[in-house]
Structure 1
Amino acid sequence: MKLALFDLDHTLLAGDSDYEWGQFLVDRGVLDPAAYEAQNREFYAQYVAGSLDIHEFLGFALRPLAEHEPADLERWHAEFMRTRILPMIGDKARALVARHRDAGDLCAIVTATNRFVTGPIAREFGVAHLIATEPESVDGRFTGRVAGTPC
């Protein structure tokens, strides 16, 4: 059996799922646009400079999951998939994954973006294996922290 590993953002997707999730929440009025975008720009500058504190960034990225009800998050994510993600999935990406799946290869998506955002995307591609940053949850609610080591 062969192993086929796929990157997600700017590879299978014609864009960045983490960035799009944040913009989706801004557009829905869930996040304050000025504050969110200023902080996101700062984290991106740190990333480019090689000085990003991944745990600080993940606290920022995962905070909206902790601040809202799971049912709201699921409803928003379904809309996010329809309006933001599906348009970023091209025929070539679908065909590439399908070719490996149909050949019997073990397929996995590997991404630093958190599993809440990326799990439904992996399912859309028909990929059962996902290596992603795991958001911590307690009693069915996200805490805003990462569980284990970030990807």
Structure 2
Amino acid sequence: MSTSSESPNKPKLALFDLDHTLLPLDSDHGWGEFSIDIGWCDREAFGRQNDAFFADYQAGRLNVPDYVRFATAAMVQRGEAEANAAHRRFMDEVIRPAMKPAAIALVQEHLQAGDIVVITSATNEFVTRPIALAFGVQHLLATELARDASGWFTGEIAGIPNMREGKVVRMTDWLAARDLAWEDVESTFYSDSMNDVPLLEKVDHPVATNPDARLRALAEERGWRIVDLFSEAP
């Protein structure tokens, strides 16, 4: 594992998970709840299924294609203009009030140091791109959505879902597209979740950030740095 003193000339790569890492909520689940609040979805039926999918994600058994079809159905049906307008409300009413100073400051610290900053999220690109931009981050790796002939989303996934081992594959491809490999950069990854262990194990500096109980135990066992952005309590 490299350190700053060992690789002073390497570009520094700062990777951030989004949900429960930079945000004290799950943006995908939150978008579903917001869709209910604005009358796009039935509260009882959608809410029950949304909660079930979220529990599957936390347990590491989420069927991603099924979930993405479910989560994007209302947005796809409403069309681009109405969906984008709703997302602007979602940003103002749900996301920006949840953006905590400590998380904003951590991202800004890396940006101001000249690091390459990437948000890498399992949540789909429609939900996450405006959030990444709100943090000042231009580079986003999210679960990409297929588009129809008009350019609007179909509800299907395009390519590899950006989760678990897929985050490593997508990040490796992202680096290769810039003529870089992992050994060419000094990498740090901040995440809260056991789902992200494959990428945490790949980087030079894994940081368990607001970790769930299992990841906290693993981080302590392996000597990984632990950061609590939203509370000083473990």
Partners of 2:29 and 2:54 within 8 A in 1: no
Deviation, 1:134, is 0.7
Match of 2:158 among 130, 147, 150: 147
Seq. identity, %: 47
Name the SS for the 1:9 alignment partner.
coil
- Deviations along 1:54-86, whole A, 9 cap, x unmatched? 211111112122211200011001110000000
Using the alignment, how far apart are the partners of 2:15 and 2:60 within structure 1?
A: 25
Match of 2:74 among 64, 72, 77: 64
Show the counterpart of 2:232: none
Partners of 1:2 and 1:105 within 8 A in 2: yes
Deviation, 1:14, is 1.4
Letter in 1 for 2:54: Y
Show the counterpart of 1:135: 145
Using the alignment, how far apart are the partners of 2:27 and 2:140 within structure 1?
A: 14
TM value normalised by structure 1 = 0.94
Name the SS for the 1:97 alignment partner.
helix
TM value normalised by structure 2 = 0.62
More helix by share: 1
Name the SS for the 1:145 alignment partner.
strand
1:28 aligns to 2:38 (yes or no)? yes
Deviates most, 57-66 or 114-123: 57-66
Which ranges of structure 1 fall in alignment gaps of 5 or more residues? Answer: none
CA 1:50–1:4: 2 relative to 1, 3 Å:
closer
Bigger relative contact order, structure 1 or 2 (CA pairs below 8 A, ≥6 apart): 1
Deviates most, 99-108 or 29-38: 29-38
CA RMSD for the aligned pairs? 1.3
Q: State the aligned residue count.
A: 151
The structure having more radius of gyration, on CA atoms, is 2
Using the alignment, how far apart are the partners of 2:25 and 2:92 within structure 1?
A: 15
CA 1:128–1:149: 2 relative to 1, 3 Å:
same
